[in-house]
Structure 1
């Protein structure tokens, strides 16, 4: 009798394993907000506790050279949904909530493109979006998502008091940190999941969100006490960059956005720079995100979903929190700054069939991620017009050839190319500022601009040609800022573009028919 039961149990186990190998995989896509790779223990940080993400890296594959396409969240989130560059999808900057009332009620910033969730849904997936969206109006599901829960605004101003919309129902949420709230909602989705179809669940945490006011001064979350007296060298204590500060003051005086910039100036100078409470706050928000990642992974295990679920963890982009005297985002100075702190993001992928504890140092562009997800789902249909390539083969044990020898990113008037050795930034023209070149092997902190060094003339010429060729191929003329094209929704410093292209130049926020087969 015992042998019969043992044989039966082996048959069940074998059948379950076989099913997991042949069925389309579930995909749990976790996106953090404003998180540079260097804030995770798995990437070498010895001060910030991220045990669940560190464990995920030991169970999966860690990519060390993954780069966002932009330094602002709306453009990067648009790229993660479409595989397109900002100069293709039209989002060059954050979508300003203060302008939201002027947008059409049904406006979805990238609905006209074939998207990742739409394509997954067409191939049999149930799709769910829980968390921060920031890609247009939030009132209706977008891009083929079945389950829909997000903020009724775009970005985070308060972790503890918010309004959300969940499948059409609006609720005020208070007394709970929104990272925990989104995490709990995602757990509920997984716990109640009962379908023969695979799922694609995008969990978009609004943390650690390294910007003021949420990360200014003491925090209320459960990890703050641990960090409040720690010596946190993770967070630089450099003097504020004088050029950066003078520009902010000048922009404010010229009414570029006086209220907003004056608020930023006060918070950075008076309340954040060199402030221990702010440093502890920032550290604690990273650990809180890690908590919720652990909760999601535990739920997969308890439900038995881990055997056929691919887990992907990344961030939209990073921000400055004191590096080289810079704070917040890439666009707050002119010309924009493209330091690695704002562009190098974590990317960890755990797949049941992939290597464990592997580190990949190859260059990955953010535009590669959507096509890789489709490939992992068994869908041999890349998103159209994308520069992205699948790197699914890098998850396997075998050594694979690099998919890129360079990746590209852009921030309004500045475009960049990153190779294994160099980072080159080109400005729209000299009126916006000079070009910059950094040797990333010998100068990883990007403190020595080599652009005027005659010894690097040939290097710059080659990189400049590569940059020009790339953007000749991967721009849409209507959204090519360098040729007088426009931007969707919002753009920082619009007067600079009006000065160059005329007073009639303006952003464009129209409803375009949604993509349909």
Structure 2
């Protein structure tokens, strides 16, 4: 069982891609008279498998699929940590959770937040002349010092903690909080439409962070639920532990995804109506993956078992770490582009700085690699492995997970006391059903991957080492 991925120097990779991407950005700026507007639409707990463009025939996501069809679809888009708060902090900073210190979702009792010592890409875009608006779920600090308006955003409409009501939510609009009548997903879109209208002269950056399809899924609007009423949905391997419950969960989950899709359609229509679609980069993605029956589990990196013995199952399974990512930029990206390289939301920092023309000299050192050249259809050296981490402390059992994933293999080490390591040969076991950690024929691969993981941990000054 050879490991066909060849080890590369990670620092060398980051330096090389930075130089190549800088050249691409300069070339882009020389051709374009105006920097693009950027619309980042971000769902909550929507896995990669929960989108039609990735081959799901059951789900109704025509507008998400449109973005992929008219732009680029990323086949291997990952999050470094498969729960809300760490993933969101990584997106903002280009740093792994080991580095920025938000290692699990932030509980309402906690006063934790994204420390001001870590630069966010919105701060850099603001310095470069962008107007920035944030609409929706924040969840990287509820204290005033962590507010979006302290991190580069000019406008905020949404909620600072992780939860809210699907209907008649409590929302803040630039410092004033009140209960608002209506459906949360629609109200957020209304606010985003107003922001885009007010800033149509550009350049603007608008991030719309929906809470759907995060549980609890109900109530959901009848128009979104109607797509799945009376429909027999395909269940995933592992669902047999509780198929009836999985069927109910899956229909409600899909309905929430369709609610986000319907509102994405409203945003795309606004760009068309204003005549700014050609020069607006549209990104659709999710904050982390999710499982509804996969492996007999429900939820993400802190999933719980749907059958005996019950309880939490900390994990880095692909459905938890793979997210949808589709990008449309008519002026630059060829329609129908498919990108097979392993990218992560950790790469948004460098990519969006390149798109916005932020000089490399003004950026901090990060783990972020710009995928702008990939969007332009260029062939460049790219990473052959993706790394991740997850310190689960909100639920029991506590876990300290570290992951290295190549195209063919995945090693997950649980560094918590009594933790079980996992090794999967993805080339022959894409469903991650057979743990080869003790297989004699896989020990050389295990050794090489463990060595790469240890190097990565040391470079990030990981405090948990084996």
| TM-score, structure 2 normalization | 0.85
Q: Which one of 261, 274, 279 corresponds to residue 250 of structure 2?
A: 279
Q: SS of the residue aligned with 2:373?
A: helix
Mapped to 2, the partners of 1:39 and 1:227 lie a distance apart of 14
8 Å Cα contact 2:457-2:465 kept in structure 1: no
Mapped to 1, the partners of 2:431 and 2:221 lie a distance apart of 33
Q: SS of the residue aligned with 1:78?
A: helix
Larger radius of gyration: 1
Q: Which one of 189, 198, 205 corresponds to residue 200 of structure 1?
A: 205
Q: Which one of 409, 419, 422 corresponds to residue 422 of structure 1?
A: 409
8 Å Cα contact 2:45-2:300 kept in structure 1: no
Pairing 1:386–2:366 present: yes
> How big is each residue's C-alpha offset from its partner over 1:328-357, in whole Å with a ceiling of 9 and x where there is no partner?
232356662111111000111112212211
8 Å Cα contact 1:117-1:127 kept in structure 2: yes
Unaligned runs of 5+ residues in structure 2 are 1-28, 304-310, 392-399
Q: Say how many residue pairs are matched.
A: 418
Q: SS of the residue aligned with 2:43?
A: strand
> How big is each residue's C-alpha offset from its partner over 1:52-91, in whole Å with a ceiling of 9 and x where there is no partner?
1111111111101011011110000000000000000000
Identify the residue that residue 449 of structure 1 maps to in structure 2: 435
Compared CA separation, residues 342 and 299, structure 1 to 2 (3 A): same
Mapped to 2, the partners of 1:66 and 1:329 lie a distance apart of 16
Question: What displacement does 1:43 show?
Answer: 0.7
Pairing 1:458–2:444 present: yes
8 Å Cα contact 1:335-1:414 kept in structure 2: no
> How big is each residue's C-alpha offset from its partner over 1:99-140, in whole Å with a ceiling of 9 and x where there is no partner?
04xx3xxx7423221111000001111111111000111654
Pairing 1:31–2:46 present: no
Question: What displacement does 1:144 show?
Answer: 1.2
Q: SS of the residue aligned with 1:208?
A: coil
Question: What displacement does 1:235 show?
Answer: 5.5
Q: SS of the residue aligned with 2:162?
A: coil
Compared CA separation, residues 236 and 158, structure 1 to 2 (3 A): farther
Compared CA separation, residues 110 and 356, structure 1 to 2 (3 A): farther
Cα RMSD over matched residues? 2.3
Question: What displacement does 1:285 show?
Answer: 0.7
Identify the residue that residue 224 of structure 1 maps to in structure 2: 225
8 Å Cα contact 2:200-2:274 kept in structure 1: no
Q: Aligned runs of 1:22-101 on 2, under 5 Å?
A: 22-97=33-108, 99-100=109-110
Pairing 1:182–2:162 present: no
8 Å Cα contact 1:335-1:432 kept in structure 2: no
Mapped to 1, the partners of 2:403 and 2:248 lie a distance apart of 35
Q: Aligned runs of 1:147-296 on 2, under 5 Å?
A: 147-152=155-160, 154-174=161-181, 176-193=182-199, 195=201, 197-209=202-214, 211=215, 214-215=216-217, 219-234=220-235, 238-240=239-241, 274=245, 276-296=247-267
Identify the residue that residue 432 of structure 1 maps to in structure 2: 418
Q: Which one of 305, 322, 328 corresponds to residue 350 of structure 1?
A: 328
Identify the residue that residue 396 of structure 1 maps to in structure 2: 376
Q: Which one of 374, 382, 387 corresponds to residue 408 of structure 1?
A: 387
Mapped to 2, the partners of 1:410 and 1:383 lie a distance apart of 24
Compared CA separation, residues 373 and 194, structure 1 to 2 (3 A): closer
8 Å Cα contact 1:363-1:402 kept in structure 2: no
Compared CA separation, residues 221 and 192, structure 1 to 2 (3 A): farther
8 Å Cα contact 1:60-1:355 kept in structure 2: yes
Question: What displacement does 1:432 show?
Answer: 3.3
Question: What displacement does 1:301 show?
Answer: 1.0
